[in-house]
Amino acid sequence: MTSTTSAFRSGFIAIVGAPNVGKSTLLNRLLAEKISITSRKPQTTRNRILGVVHRERSQMIFVDTPGIHRSGSQLNVRIVDAALAAIGDADLLLMIADAWSPDPDSENLLIENLRGQNRTVILALNKIDRIDKPSLLSQIDRWSRRFSFEAIVPISARMGTQVDVLLSAMEKVLPPGPPLFPEDAVTDAPMRFLAAEIVREKVFRYTGDEIPYATAVTVDEFNAVNDRAPVRISATIHVERDSQKGIVIGKKGGKLRQIGAAAREDLEKMMEKQVVLNLFVRVQKNWSRDGRALRKFGY
């Protein structure tokens, strides 16, 4: 007979927080695999991304969400809605806060949202590699008075510090239940989606401040003639204005080549196959304010 303490546990854990706190970095760290794109700029994640962590006694299904913040733009309102919807479905909420560079306005918005609901929430204070101990202790104190968290765990998602402690804290409060995904599942996202996301990440990384938010990526072709042939991927980077197209392409096409080379490298690692990547840039005027275009791009 198995006792209840050794029963298998499983459930959905929504990773929520302000933009740029390290939610996607943590998910990739937990999976030891990159499925969610990250960048130094806020509002990198735009869709809900699912990642499955398999442990001896549990299966933890994480849902990475876009950063929750107050915003007026149509794209950002949809992004925040996607995050709030993921909260509703989860067995457990993992809130991430940036201990190094807090964002009180977005934090308050999230806390206000959580207060009305009777939910189990664990707080991870991230980026502790950037702060000293006294500052950390005073933050833990402040957070514990702000909301009744199940646990508060300081971590560094980038370094992997205390991530195992966080996993154990979450495992303890998951409901008993059988695995919900097959044991080799890492994510439910199709390869095509991951490919488009990787290209979008490189646009975030290699262009200046304005361009990323004006960008959406679609994959137009994705195939291999046979198992050993390289995977051929064609993708289009959609921007809102001619001037932005010029920036993404760069002098003599240099910027686009840089984006393409970095994306190809990641894609080959992810698929363990040779990849031929063709990128195009197209102007779709004001797509981020156009409901039909937003749907077409998956938002």
Ligand X SMILES: Nc1nc2c(ncn2[C@@H]2O[C@H](COP(=O)(O)OP(=O)(O)OP(=O)(O)O)[C@@H](O)[C@H]2O)c(=O)[nH]1
Residue number of the CB atom closest to ligand X:
67
In whole angstroms, the minimum distance from the beta carbon of 69 to ligand X comes to 8
Task: Choose between 44 and 58: whose C-beta lies nearer to Mg ion.
Answer: 44
Q: Which residue has the tokens 């003599």?
A: 252
Out of Mg ion, ligand X, none, what residue 25 binds, judged by CB under 5 to 8 A for its kind, is ligand X
In whole angstroms, the minimum distance from the beta carbon of 80 to ligand X comes to 10
45 lies in the site for Mg ion, by CB under 5 A: yes
Task: Choose between 130 and 146: whose C-beta lies nearer to ligand X.
Answer: 130
Cα separations in angstroms, 25 against 32, 35, 41, 246: 10, 10, 13, 30
**Structure tokens that stand for 84 in this block:** 């709030």
Task: Choose between 34 and 245: whose C-beta lies nearer to Mg ion.
Answer: 34
**Structure tokens that stand for 233 in this block:** 């991927």
Sign of the torsion angle spanned by Cα atoms 193, 37, 123, 162? positive
Out of Mg ion, ligand X, none, what residue 51 binds, judged by CB under 5 to 8 A for its kind, is none
Out of Mg ion, ligand X, none, what residue 157 binds, judged by CB under 5 to 8 A for its kind, is ligand X
In whole angstroms, the minimum distance from the beta carbon of 63 to ligand X comes to 12
Task: For the segment 15-44, give every residue that binds Mg ion (CB under 5 A).
Answer: 23-24, 44
Residue 22: other Cβ atoms inside 10 A: 23
Task: Choose between 58 and 162: whose C-beta lies nearer to ligand X.
Answer: 162
Interacting residues toward ligand X by CB under 6 A = 17, 19-25, 38-40, 42-45, 66-67, 126-127, 129-130, 156-158
Task: Choose between 58 and 65: whose C-beta lies nearer to ligand X.
Answer: 65
Instruction: Name the CA dihedral angle for 285, 193, 31, 179, rounded to a multiple of 10 degrees.
Output: 130
Task: Identify the DSSP state of 36.
Answer: S
In whole angstroms, the minimum distance from the beta carbon of 7 to Mg ion comes to 33
Task: For the segment 84-123, give every residue that binds Mg ion (CB under 5 A).
Answer: none
Q: Give contact residues for Mg ion (rule: CB under 5 A).
A: 23-24, 44-45
